[in-house]
């Protein structure tokens, strides 16, 4: 039976899983900015990249910097290029997961039978094609980047710890772990919640031997270096871009943006009963997202890690619990996506569990061994194919052209000087993107009424659009003081169903008395 | 002992996840959007409705059909009921090709209200929609069953045939060229024209003539 050498096992599993899911991602990729569920923020993020600006809090500087690099690549619509980048990051996040799983599998040091490698790749692909992961991988979003950096950081921490244990230093890996954790925090601040997990992996040996500083110091230095991506926010804000949430070029406003001040009220807002119900629902998500098939593998993997890699068990357990906790207490349209790290942990433990089963079978009779060696990968791949074909058509955003068509139609035909009043993400974000990427229609202003109360937003509109900002447009309109050369139009978005196709967009003129 | 504890813990974890996977209902989806939901409640700008003291835009055109009777999905309006058609400039999202594709275009949407101000659903599919075709490059569609089908040789000024798909269901849709300007004065003319076309069509539908009496003659237009 062909085998994969131990040193290539993780890369082979991770790369093959990544390649497989990448095909699915590209086949279902959104063509631009979208309205659909997971991708509503895509218009805001893409518009911010287009103007070198600051998207909604917490600013996501890592994603912005990667986006600016993609912006420099000429061909194609910028939103499409960013969607491709997101898909690459999402698929790429399976590589560190594969590497990590290979390092902690029970038969580390031994080569990996090809059927087992296929089964391991299928488990990771099941994670990659989980509806929650898949839907966030095919349109510009931040979670794929956060996942990529988080799991890369944990893998690097494991390498650092292993190197230190064998007297080979490990400082470089520790620096890398810190840098990756910082970059991950720049992709989504919840990645910082995993810092204790990295500390457990990096430092627990050192604490016993009082040599923890040998890895702690370079890791901390790396973390500081990685977090320098946040400098992007004040620098970008100082150029006064037209997308400049919070204008974070003062210390106070910078902290307001990176700490997500405007969203703090969404933490723990619901009553205890609802919170328990939500926690219960989220606890069931791993099975719903990854199928029942992984449950026995997960259990065996957990037992195996308890015996052989307690630090990794503790670290990954912390990552899963903290993700579930944040997902429980935070309330937003897409709060469920915060449990993605927990799903990844289930996938890694399941790979470990599968290796444990394979190892145990090695001691069994060859007939049973052969049977299981063929059955397990077949079962997992069949599950993968069934789920991909079941969920793919519903998750696919290939035809999600509505948001772009809406924004283009509005902007092309808006009166010269028009001010478009919006109060829905689905109106504001695609209009921002169309307004600031296509050029032209510089005499049209998009005014989101929900942001009007913020001083930074009114000042931004005053500078960029030259409209009165001391009194609200409606008040000026009612008193007849609104400038006639800036006709006001209300853009309404009404959802009549669950699909983007059910969205009805209307444009109404508002006239003075 | 440790092995038993470990196995027990793993079993408990699996049971917990399995039981929770059977949790009967998902929590209600939060409505919170990315932009903070802090609207301008202290002023009239809390809503995009025209503020007090303003009147609707001149593009809104009302056309009344007196003593008209329409059979709406088998539901006859009472004799002598007034029916008001409201023509409103709007963007409409219309079902297109494929399950998740729609076309969003500027249009005139016409809704009907009875004497009590209640909406009368003229079309179970998409209401009554009309768009003013531009002479060149305009593509005109009509609702035919569940599909929008192109209407050939429709030109500006022509009495566009507004097809009655079902009794009481009228729909015409024209895709405008993208550079068609959306301005109030044009919209007024377009809306008025659209409403007239609807009346003409109502009057020429053989199946409805006996129900319409002479509504076209009694029709008056009243731009606001």
pLDDT, tens only, A164-188: 888 777 899 999 999 999 999 999 9
Residue in B with minimal Cα distance to A262: B36
**Whole-number pLDDT of residue B132:** 33
Question: Which pLDDT value is given to residue A132?
Answer: 93
Q: A36-50, A120-134, B47-61 — which one is most confidently predicted on average? A: A120-134
Does the distance separating the beta carbons of A504 and B48 come in below 8 Å?
no
Question: If contacts are CB pairs under 8 Å, which of residues 177-196 in chain B contact chain A?
Answer: 178-184, 187
The answer on pLDDT for A116 being more than 50 is yes
Q: Is B27 contained in some domain?
A: no
- Residue to substitute from A423, A438, A452, interface B, most B β-carbons within 10 A: A423
Q: Which of A147, A192, A100, A150 is nearest to A337 (CA)?
A: A147
Mean pLDDT of A191-206: 88
Regarding predicted confidence, which is higher, B57 or A191? A191
Mean pLDDT of B39-53: 31
For residue A449, give the nearest of A440, A438, A458, A462 by alpha carbon.
A458
Q: Check pLDDT > 60 for residue B104.
A: no
Q: How confident is the model at residue A56 (pLDDT cuts 50, 70, 90)?
A: very high
Residue among B106, B101, B163 nearest B138 (CA): B106
Would the pLDDT of B31 be above 90?
no
Give the model confidence (pLDDT) of A303-326 as tens digits.
Answer: 999 888 888 999 999 999 999 999
In this prediction, residue A384 carries a pLDDT of 92
The confidence score (pLDDT) of residue A270 equals 64
Distance CA A319, CA A249 (A): 32
Q: Do A492 and B48 touch (CB under 8 A)?
A: yes
> Given a cut of 60, is residue B216 above it in pLDDT?
no
Please give the C-alpha separations between residue B142 and each of A114, B145, B194, in angstroms, as whole numbers: 59, 9, 14
In A, which residues are within 8 Å of B106 by CB distance?
Answer: 409, 413, 507
Which of A458, A506, A507 should be substituted to probe chain B, the one whose Cβ sees the most B Cβ atoms within 10 Å? A506
pLDDT value at B192 more than 60 = no
pLDDT for residue B200: 44
| Distance (Å, whole) CA A434 – CA A442 | 11
Query: Is pLDDT at A34 greater than 70 in this prediction?
Result: yes
Highest mean pLDDT among A27-41, A481-495, B50-64, B159-173: A27-41
Shortest distance between the Cα of B38 and any Cα of chain A, in A, equals: 5
Radius of gyration of chain B (CA): 26
Give the rounded percent of residues in chain A with a pLDDT score beyond 90.
Answer: 53
Nearest CB neighbour to A474, from listed B11, B27, B44: B44
- Residue B73 has what pLDDT? 31
Let me know the angle formed at the C-alpha of A208 by A204 and A212, rounded to the nearest 5 degrees. Answer: 60
Q: Which of A46, A38, A65 is nearest to A433 (CA)?
A: A46
Cross-chain residue pair B23–A303, CB shorter than 8 Å: no
Q: What pLDDT is stored for residue B115 in this prediction?
A: 57
Half-sphere exposure of B158 (CA within 13 A, CB side): 14
Task: Determine the average pLDDT of the residues in A451-458.
Answer: 90
pLDDT at A142 exceeding the cut of 70 = yes
Chain segment A336-378, per-residue pLDDT in tens = 899 999 999 999 999 999 888 888 877 666 777 777 778 888 9
User: Confidence class of residue B89 from pLDDT cuts 50, 70 and 90?
Assistant: very low
Mark which residues 67-126 of B lie under 8 Å from A by CB.
88-93, 95, 98-106
Model confidence pLDDT, tens digit, residues A300-309: 999 999 888 8
Residue of B nearest to A498 (CA): B100
> Touching check for B10 and chain A: CB below 8 Å?
yes
Shortest Cα distance, chain B CAs vs residue A485, angstroms: 13
Q: What percent of chain B has pLDDT over 90?
A: 0
Shortest alpha-carbon distance between residue B209 and chain A (Å): 33
According to the model, what pLDDT value does residue A7 have? 79
| Contact (CB<8Å) A423/B39 | yes
**pLDDT level of residue A220 (50, 70, 90 thresholds):** very high
Q: Which residues of A touch B47 (CB under 8 A)?
A: 474
> What's the CA gap between B94 and A366, in Å, rounded?
62
CA distance A112 to chain B (A): 25
pLDDT grade, residue A209 (50/70/90)? low
Which single residue is written with the structure tokens 């849709």? Answer: B173
List of chain B residues whose C-beta atoms are within 8 Å of the C-beta of residue A505: 91-93, 104
- Computed over every residue of chain A, the mean pLDDT equals 87
ipTM of the complex: 0.72
Work out the average pLDDT over A18-30.
96
pLDDT attached to residue B75 = 33
* CB spacing of B27 vs A428 below 8 angstroms: no
Residue B145 pLDDT level (bands cut at 50, 70, 90)? very low
The backbone torsions φ and ψ at residue A108, rounded to the nearest 5 degrees and listed phi first, read -55, 135
- State the residue range of the domain holding B126: 53-214
Q: Pick from A324, A329, A352: which is nearest to A340 by CA?
A: A324
CB contact under 8 A, B26 and A400: no
| Chain B residues within an 8 Å CB radius of A284 | 17, 19-23
Question: Are A160 and A174 contacting, i.e. CB atoms less than 8 angstroms apart?
Answer: yes
What are the pLDDT digits (tens) for A57-114? Answer: 999 999 999 999 999 987 789 999 999 999 999 999 999 999 999 998 887 777 788 8
Residue B195 lies in a domain: yes
Instruction: Give the pLDDT confidence score for residue A439 in this predicted structure.
Output: 65
pLDDT of residue A495: 59
Q: Provide, as residue numbers in chain B, all residues whose Cβ is less than 8 Å from the Cβ of A503.
A: 93, 102
d(CA B163, CA B155): 16
Mean pLDDT of chain B: 44
Q: List chain A domain ranges.
A: 3-395, 402-510
Chosen for mutation from A478, A495, A502 (greatest number of chain B CBs closer than 10 Å) is A478
Residue A507's pLDDT is what?
A: 65
Question: What pLDDT score does A334 carry?
Answer: 78
| Contact (CB, 8 A) for A183 and A65 | no
Distance CA A354, CA A119 (A): 8
Residue B181 lies in a domain: yes
pLDDT of residue A165: 82
Integer CA distances (angstroms), B216 to B119, B173, B190, B197, B204, in order: 21, 22, 19, 10, 10
**pLDDT classification of B46: cutoffs 50, 70, 90:** very low
Q: Which residues numbered 17-46 in B keep a CB inside 8 Å of some CB on A?
A: 17-23, 25-27, 29-40, 43-46
Interchain CB distance below 8 Å, A412 and B26:
no
């Amino acid at each position: 039976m062909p085998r994969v050498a131990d040193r290539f096992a993780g890369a082979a599993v991770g790369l093959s899983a990544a390649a497989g899911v990448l095909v699915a991602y590209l086949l279902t990729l959104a063509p631009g900015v979208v309205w659909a569920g997971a991708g509503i923020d895509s218009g805001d993020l893409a518009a911010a990249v287009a103007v070198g600006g600051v998207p909604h809090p917490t600013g996501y500087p890592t994603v912005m910097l990667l986006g600016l690099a993609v912006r420099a690549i000429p061909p194609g619509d910028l939103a499409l290029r960013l969607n491709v980048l997101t898909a690459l990051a999402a698929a790429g996040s399976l590589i560190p997961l594969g590497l990590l799983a290979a390092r902690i599998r029970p038969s580390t040091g031994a080569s990996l039978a090809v059927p087992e490698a296929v089964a391991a790749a299928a488990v990771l692909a099941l994670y990659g094609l989980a509806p929650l992961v898949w839907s966030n991988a095919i349109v510009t979003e931040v979670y794929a980047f956060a996942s990529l950096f988080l799991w890369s950081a944990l893998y690097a921490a494991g390498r650092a710890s292993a190197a230190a244990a064998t007297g080979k230093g490990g400082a470089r890996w520790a620096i890398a772990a810190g840098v990756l954790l910082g970059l991950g925090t720049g992709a989504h601040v919840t990645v910082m919640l995993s810092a204790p997990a990295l500390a457990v992996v990096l430092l627990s040996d050192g604490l016993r031997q009082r040599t923890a500083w040998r890895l702690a110091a370079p890791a901390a230095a790396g973390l500081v270096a990685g977090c320098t991506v946040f400098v992007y926010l004040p620098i970008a804000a100082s150029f006064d871009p037209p997308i400049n949430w919070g204008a974070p070029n003062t210390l106070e406003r910078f902290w307001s943006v990176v700490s997500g001040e405007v969203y703090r009220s969404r933490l723990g807002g619901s009553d205890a009963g609802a919170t328990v119900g939500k926690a219960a629902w989220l606890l069931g998500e791993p099975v719903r997202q990854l199928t029942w098939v992984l449950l026995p593998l997960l259990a065996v993997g957990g037992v195996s890690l308890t015996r052989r890699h307690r630090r990794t068990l503790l670290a990954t357990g912390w990552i899963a619990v903290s993700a579930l906790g944040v997902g429980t207490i935070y309330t937003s349209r897409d709060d469920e996506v915060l449990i993605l790290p927990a799903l990844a942990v289930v996938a890694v433990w399941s790979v470990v569990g599968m290796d444990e089963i394979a190892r145990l079978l090695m001691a069994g009779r060859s007939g049973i061994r052969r049977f299981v060696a063929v059955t397990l990968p077949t079962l997992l791949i069949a599950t993968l194919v069934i789920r991909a074909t079941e969920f793919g058509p519903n998750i696919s955003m290939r035809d999600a052209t509505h948001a772009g068509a809406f924004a283009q139609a509005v902007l092309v035909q808006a009166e010269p000087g028009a001010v478009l009043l919006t109060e829905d993400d689905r109106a504001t974000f695609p209009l921002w993107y169309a307004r600031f990427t296509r050029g032209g229609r510089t005499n049209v202003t998009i005014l989101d009424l929900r942001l009007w109360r913020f001083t930074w937003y009114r000042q931004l509109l005053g500078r960029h659009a030259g409209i009165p900002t001391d009194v609200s447009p409606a008040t000026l309109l009612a008193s007849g003081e609104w400038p006639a050369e800036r006709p006001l139009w209300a853009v309404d978005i009404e959802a009549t169903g669950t699909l983007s196709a059910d969205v009805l967009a209307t444009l109404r003129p508002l006239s003075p008395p | 002992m440790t092995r038993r504890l470990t196995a027990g813990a793993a079993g408990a974890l699996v049971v917990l996840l399995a039981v929770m996977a059977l949790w009967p209902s998902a929590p209600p989806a939060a409505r919170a959007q990315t932009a903070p939901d802090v609207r301008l409640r202290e002023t009239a700008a809390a809503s995009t409705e025209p503020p007090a003291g303003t009147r609707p835009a001149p593009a809104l055109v009302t056309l009344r059909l007196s003593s008209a009777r329409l059979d709406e999905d088998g539901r006859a309006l009472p004799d002598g009921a007034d029916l008001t058609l409201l023509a409103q400039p709007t963007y409409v999202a219309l079902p297109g090709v494929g399950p998740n594709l729609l076309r969003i275009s500027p249009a005139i949407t016409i809704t009907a209200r009875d004497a009590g101000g209640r909406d009368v659903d003229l079309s179970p599919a998409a209401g009554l929609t009309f768009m003013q075709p531009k002479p060149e490059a305009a593509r005109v569609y009509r609702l035919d069953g569940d599909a929008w089908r192109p209407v050939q040789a429709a030109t500006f000024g022509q009495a566009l045939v507004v097809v009655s798909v079902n009794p009481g269901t009228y729909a015409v849709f024209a895709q405008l060229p993208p550079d068609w300007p959306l301005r109030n004065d044009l919209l007024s003319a377009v809306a008025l024209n659209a409403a007239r076309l609807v009346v003409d069509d109502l009057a020429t539908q053989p199946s409805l003539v006996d129900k319409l009496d002479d509504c076209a003659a009694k029709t008056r237009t009243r731009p606001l």
